[in-house]
Amino acid sequence: MPSRRLVLRVAGLEVMVTEVRMLEQAFTGLERVLVHGCGLARPGWLDEAEAAWAGVRATGRPGAPSYRSAGGRGRCLGRDTFAGDVLARLGVHQLYREHAERYPRIPIDELTAQGAELVVLPDEPYRFAADDGPEAFPGLPAALVSGRHLTWYGPSLAEAPAVLTAALSAAR
């Protein structure tokens, strides 16, 4: 069976495939799709987002960005993820950025043994809250962050550095 991309190309449609694992890829991919693919003018929010991130200077500590997936299973950010790149730029030095898996399952006791000083808990895909999540990481400060600002690339990138920095600072 031919791939969907091939079917679309055979039908005469241009197919644009994006792979966004770093902030720069988000900026170039968004421009490629919106301007070149859709024929739109470059949106002002894209310029605002690039300017907002250009001024970011990372200072931070070792952390374990975590989330819960379906069924309540815990995961951490590993290698080669957009959210990991965003957090690294904000100073969160991911303990598992070199892990073989992109989203490894790490036992909580290992997080502390590896030197985690912070756990980052986004509000999606599982909605962590002050009374649901931080208690699973005893002894570690927990930063409750906006998943939209951490994992989405689009207009939210313009305010993401400020929103995420405030959430990370509140956990210190």
As a whole-number percent, the residues of the chain with pLDDT over 90 amount to 41
Least confidently predicted of 22-31, 42-51, 72-81, 125-134: 72-81
Answer whether 103's CB lies under 8 Å from 73's CB. Answer: no
Query: How far apart are alpha carbons 93 and 85 in whole angstroms?
Result: 10
Give the separation between CA 63 and CA 90, rounded to whole angstroms: 11
> Taking a C-beta distance cutoff of 8 angstroms, is the pair 105, 127 a contact?
no
The half-sphere exposure of 141 on its side-chain side, counting CA atoms within 13 A, is: 14
CATH superfamily of this structure's domain 62-170: Nitrogenase molybdenum iron protein domain (3.40.50.1980)
| 70: pLDDT strictly greater than 70 | no
3-state DSSP of 35-101: HHHCCCCCCHHHHHHHHHHHCCCCCCCEEEEEEECHHHCEEECCCCCHHHHHHHHCCCEECCCCCCC
What's the pLDDT at 73?
53
What tens digit of pLDDT does each residue of 9-24 get?
888 888 878 889 999 9
Q: What is the DSSP string of 112-141?
A: HHTT---EEEESSSS--BTTBSGGGSTTS-
Q: Which CA distances in Å does 168 have to 20, 29, 158, 160?
A: 23, 27, 17, 12
The ranges assigned to domains in the chain are 4-54, 62-170
Look up the pTM and report it.
0.84
